[in-house]
A and B are shown apart, each in its own frame.
Chain A
Amino acid sequence: MTQHTVRAYDEELGTLSSKINQMGGIAEAMLVDAVDALAKHDVTKARSVIERDAQLDSIQHDIEELAVLIIARRQPMANDLRHIMGTIRIASDIERIGDLVKNIAKRVTVIEERFLGVRSVTGIQHMTHLVLGQVKAVLDSFAQNNPDLARHVWLHDGEVDTLNNSLFRELLTYMMEDPRAITFSTHLLFIAKNIERAGDHATNIAETVFFIETGEQLSGPRPKGDSSVFAVSGKDA
């Protein structure tokens, strides 16, 4: 990208981007630790995840303030304008991911350890792995100004949904087999759902990155895997 005639403008835009990267890094680490805390039932680690969420909120505020300042100072146009507006949206998506992960960590602090070890936790780890891959890739697409990578992320969100479905069915079976595991399984259900929703935010970010880079909206058919709504009513999707 050619430099702006006014160098301070480039610096301001650079600061916005680096703050997004910083938020992304924090959110990724929080997700890894939250699921690790679940697998090992490490309540201390879960608490540290809960505490770190405040950092995301604070950086998001910084981003919003700086973006407003840049708009007032520079009256950005075209790709610069899309970049700034996009940055505000991405910050809000990452902040939402942080909230979802914080909610996972909170559940880890209250679930009963004796039910841990069921296969479902492995399923959740697998989902987390996929979602982390999505989040990493979409943040890379932002950092590298790469709309193709963003589109790739956008197209592959169905895999997470599919996993969530099978986990949903599995947990339903447990609950029917052993009513004492209902509370625990419900927590796992919500945890899985939160991870899936974190993946949805990665998809939102992909749409934003694509728009920033091309000025066009991502569109077209997209593989969709979530049929858990139908599973409840007993129908197969």
Chain B
Amino acid sequence: MNSASILTAEAPNAAASAGLAPEPKVVARNVDVHYGEKHALKAVSVDIPARAVTAFIGPSGCGKSTFLRCINRMNDTISTCRVTGEITIDGQDIYDPRLDVVLLRARVGMVFQKPNPFPKTIYENVAYGPRLHGLASGKAELDEIVERSLRRASLWEEAKDRLGESGTGLSGGQQQRLCIARAIAVSPEVILMDEPCSALDPIATAKIEELIDELRTNFTIVIVTHSMQQAARVSQRTAFFHLGTLVEEGATDQIFTNPRDRRTQDYITGRFG
């Protein structure tokens, strides 16, 4: 979009921390989602900045996961689900019928609320994507990608001696880190994370947060979280959803110290009925 930002890679982050809306990576306009008769998302419009972390917060059932799934067309897999409106990534309409959805999901990686490793070895879980997309030219390079991804997801130390064991044999928190390793192994441009830390202990959570902070220099990250503190710690922008609408979006610092909307304030201060 804006070619100037390629030359000054730091600019978007600086703008984000200054509370300005930086160059958008993902742009949503008037997105509506129905599950059959159920109107789950209502006219959501938002700009998600490049190379920054955007947090989605809101009470259970408000539509956070639904909106997240719109960004990589995961909702296509739900038969009753109908999405209208416009979503673009780098200006490209991702609901364009000519678009290759498999390629889109390589560009837009996702980590789900519940860890869902493939019933394969730990190694294969991470190697699967890079092999599918031809990102490694040989075994050595693939090994390298697997190790780097597991290290970044802070699972390497625990997994390096059991790479041949099944991913489903790991603990819940380890499985989640495996899924994060799997998502980043293909170097996506956008990473969607749906409550990635809900099954993790505080140390693993801190490691994932450190990872997110590191990833944001290169990736665009959207994270759904029920922890206000986590949203405040890891994100530069925060969007508050309530009953299927996007109530308020702004610089994280502002949302958590001085939200504009009464509903946002009631939610983040623990006053929701």
Contact = CB atoms under 8 A, between A and B. Distances in A.
Interface in A1-28: 1-6, 9
A78 B259 CA distance: 7
Given A82-B257, A215-B258, A2 B228 contact: no
Chain A interface SS verdict (over half): loop
Interface stretch (B121-129, B189-197, B265-273): B265-273
The range of chain A's interface size is 10 to 19
Contacts of A215: 257-258
Contact of B228 (A1, A4, A75, A216): A75
Contact of B257 (A5, A74, A75, A81): A81
B270 A78 contact: no
A72 interface: no
A79 B269 contact: yes
Contact of A9 (B256, B257, B268, B270): B270
Contacts of A6: 270
Contacts of B273: 2, 5
B223 to A, nearest CB: 18
Interface in A185-203: none
Contact of A75 (B229, B265, B271): B229
A3 B271 contact: yes
A76 interface: yes
A75 B229 CA distance: 8
Nearest to B258: A215
A3 B266 CA distance: 9
Nearest to B271: A2
A77 interface: yes
Contacts of A75: 228-229
A237 B190 CA distance: 63
A6 B273 CA distance: 10
A79 B257 CA distance: 7
Interface in A81-106: 81-82
A80 interface: yes
B265 A78 contact: yes
A228 B228 CA distance: 51
A76 B257 contact: no
A77 B268 contact: yes
Contact of B256 (A5, A74, A77, A216): A77
Interface of B: 228-229, 232, 256-259, 265-266, 268-273
Interface of A: 1-6, 9, 74-82, 215-216
20 contacts: A1-B271, A2-B271, A3-B271, A4-B271, A5-B271, A9-B270, A75-B228, A75-B229, A76-B269, A77-B256, A77-B257, A77-B268, A77-B270, A78-B256, A78-B258, A78-B265, A79-B265, A79-B269, A215-B257, A215-B258
